[in-house]
Amino acid sequence: MSHEPTRAVATEQGGPACGIDAKLTMPEAQARSPWQRWRDFWFCPADPTTLAFIRISTGLLVLYIHLTYSLDLQAFFGEHGWYAARFINRERHESPMMITPWLDRWEDAPEGWAQLSDFPHRRAALMRFLRSLPQSTAERQRDLAYLQWVVSLRNPADVLTALNYVQMIPTERELERYLTALQGGRVELSSDEKVIGKLPASFGQQYEPPPVLATLSLEERRQRAQEIRHFWLALARVPWLDPKQERTYVINHFMEASPAVRQALVEFMRTLPEDPQQRNALLEYLEYWNVDPRKAYSKGHYIFSMWFHVTDPTAMAWIHAGVLLLIVLFTVGLFTRVTSVLVWLATVSYIHRTQQILFGMDTMMNILLFYLMIGNCGAALSLDRLIARYRATRAALQRGGLDAATRAFLAYPPPSVAAGFAQRLIQVHFCFIYVAAGLSKLKGGMWWHGQAFWEVLVNPEFTLLHYSWYENTVRWLASFKPVYHFMLALAVWFTLFVEIAGPFFLWTRLRWLIILLASLMHALIAVLMGLNLFELLMIVMLLAFLPDGVIADRFRGGPDLPRFRWCYNPQDDAQCRASALIAAVDVDNQVRLHPVTGRQETPYLMRPDGQVLRQGEAVQALASSLRLSPLLLPLSWLPGLRGWLIHRLFPVS
């Protein structure tokens, strides 16, 4: 439509300016209370065009990401993929969550839980020992009584000495000699042992107990001797693959574990149930998750994914094609309120199925899709907007003509509180991401002396180091020490300034500078580290900081656009529908609807010079002149579309 009203900058006389960033460009008309400031910060109406452009940019990137999944759909999400379905299903049902008491004191000893070695061969030896423990609780506690006494020792050196004492005993015959010496007896040769010559005077000293045992009373030493015998025999009953080495693994684990873990593991063994089924379930859980399930706060993850339930390759291909179609509909803005939710749910399903390959790209994509789902991102630059324009024009023509409210709606998308709220959420979340990233860099020494940036430049895994020109440039920079240090210092300070100071300057008049520097930083990271999609998504988040109207003005034409007049009979319902269709696709108001009464043959299109166009000539003129025509031009290749348009615009009375 040719009517071009002036966009209002205030909602009411004296009220706050419209747009979430109006305070950066206009002084306040009146003082506002803290609550009003807070409300206007989050819930200020904004032009939905910026959020719509973010939707288009995000949708294109999401579409590309999921198109790449098509090449290896089964490898990523199939039943026998890289992370097979049986593993992810077990993870989401059994994965333990361990927490510490909320009201404990910081000075209290940390609560531990039973843990095995992280090395597979050592864990296998420990599991053979655990599975060979007696079923009877009394017998098992008898065999573990020595370990129970060892873990009760306060001195870590005594713990190591007591365990090493058992580890030194090689055979059952030697066991009796060690225990005889422990109980104060005299160690002698057995009847089947022969010695040539006289026994040395030092014979038997190697069996002397260590101080932690020697300082006990005679009664306590006799008790410890019985406990050591049962523990040693329990180790001897285990069906080891390599007895000497695997028994060493078991004892070494108790020596190397922290006191809390050592205590928890002994308690786990002592309290194993006698029921074989329950016992095996506990041992299997411990072997797989390295945690006592009875100590877990909860088990499993409350996550969802369609790929948990669909594993047939054909069905997966059809569902994946449907997801791609949803992303296309979301990108072009058709049924956006529904497709935005479905696209977010589908994307989360892909993420939850393959969390092992999750990284920053998936996180930023998820953040953007979530906030686009909250805001009405289809209110502008979308097929939904064209449909809304058609319906508004159709209703106005049925009422007798275009009124001021309809003309204003056709001129600009109405400001939206939901769009402003979603855009503000993206802005605030972006600032938190930057501050967290910048402050975390200060914790690493490599960022203080600049080595972090150098590691990025020369890392052959993701940089351009395989190109000779890049390698020669890096070598040249490193050959001049002043240039080398200046480059590292500049890169580090530039990164820290953008990530730490940037989130604060973004709310000032220096916003344009921070947007420029941040975009430059992400472009450099994309080139140097190959994180193209992640950096593009970060730049898309930066679009939320553009003032209202910046993007909308870029999509509007100037005063030199061709102008037309569409003449129609307001009494003919078919011609009113054709007029509404033209108004819907005329996003820059190039065509003025002109009702004609009388016997003049309608409808027809009139150029500024008075030339009348009908049928195919009119369709061709509109297709070549309207601002939206370059986007709709590929549709003209569809067979029969041109004839359908002629029939719709020039219906037979």
Task: Establish if 272 belongs to a structural domain.
Answer: yes
Cα separation, 295 vs 111, whole angstroms: 10
Tally of structural domains, the chain: 5
Which residue type is seen at 403? Answer: D
523 and 578 part of one domain:
no
Helices 417-442, 481-496: crossing angle, 10 deg rounding: 140
Residue 104 has pLDDT above 90, yes or no: no
pLDDT of residue 133: 94
Under 8 Å between Cβ of 524 and 463: no
30 and 52 part of one domain:
no
pLDDT of residue 9: 39
Under 8 Å between Cβ of 76 and 69: yes
CATH of the domain at 599: 3.40.30
| Mean pLDDT computed over 45-57 | 93
Select the highest-mean-pLDDT range: 116-120, 448-452, 458-462, 640-644: 116-120
| Mean pLDDT computed over 170-189 | 85
Query: Structure tokens of 585?
Result: 């696709």
> pLDDT tens digit string along 350-394?
999 988 778 889 999 999 999 999 999 999 999 999 999 999 999
Residue 284: CA count within 13 A, CB half-sphere: 8
> pLDDT tens digit string along 251-301?
999 999 999 899 999 999 999 999 999 999 999 999 999 999 998 888 888
Task: Establish if 252 belongs to a structural domain.
Answer: yes
Q: Is 10 helix (H, G, I), strand (E, B) or coil?
A: strand
Q: 552, 583, 609: which is the final residue of a domain? A: 552
| Mean pLDDT computed over 172-177 | 88
Report the side by side order of strands in the sheet with 564-568: 591-595, 564-568, 604-606, 612-613
| Cβ atoms < 10 Å from Cβ of 252 | 16
| Cβ atoms < 10 Å from Cβ of 281 | 13
531 and 486 part of one domain:
yes
Q: Is 453 helix (H, G, I), strand (E, B) or coil?
A: helix
Q: Is 514 helix (H, G, I), strand (E, B) or coil?
A: helix
Residue 622 has pLDDT above 90, yes or no: no
178 and 249 part of one domain:
yes
Three-state SS string across 202-233, please? CCCHHHCCCHHHHCCCHHHHHHHHHHHHHHHH
Task: Establish if 82 belongs to a structural domain.
Answer: no
| Cβ atoms < 10 Å from Cβ of 278 | 11
pLDDT of residue 200: 57
Task: Establish if 208 belongs to a structural domain.
Answer: yes
Task: Establish if 374 belongs to a structural domain.
Answer: yes
> pLDDT tens digit string along 403-428?
889 888 988 899 999 999 999 999 99
Task: Establish if 5 belongs to a structural domain.
Answer: yes
Task: Establish if 586 belongs to a structural domain.
Answer: yes
> pLDDT tens digit string along 553-597?
888 877 778 888 888 888 888 888 888 988 888 888 888 888 887
Tell me the pTM: 0.83
Q: 270, 299, 328: which is the final residue of a domain? A: 299
280 and 373 part of one domain:
no
Alpha-carbon distances, residue 211 vs 215, 216, 259 (angstroms):
6, 9, 21
Residue 23 has pLDDT above 70, yes or no: no
Task: Establish if 487 belongs to a structural domain.
Answer: yes
pLDDT of residue 194: 58
Which residues constitute the domain of residue 595?
564-649
pLDDT of residue 8: 42
Under 8 Å between Cβ of 281 and 273: no
Quick one: residue 333, left, alpha or beta (phi over 0 = left, psi -120 to 50 = alpha)? left
168 and 233 part of one domain:
yes
- Pick from 129, 75, 440: nearest CA to 268: 129
Q: How confident is the model at residue 4 (pLDDT cuts 50, 70, 90)?
A: very low
Select the highest-mean-pLDDT range: 202-216, 221-235, 443-457: 221-235
544 and 474 part of one domain:
yes
| Exposure letters 463-482 (e unless 16+ CB within 10 A, then b) | bbeeeeeeeeebeeeeeeee
539 and 629 part of one domain:
no
pLDDT of residue 270: 93
440 and 540 part of one domain:
yes
DSSP code of residue 587: T
162 and 256 part of one domain:
yes
252 and 360 part of one domain:
no
Cα separation, 609 vs 611, whole angstroms: 6
pLDDT of residue 552: 84
**Positive/negative CA dihedral, 135, 137, 138, 140:** positive
537 and 572 part of one domain:
no
Across the chain, mean pLDDT equals 86
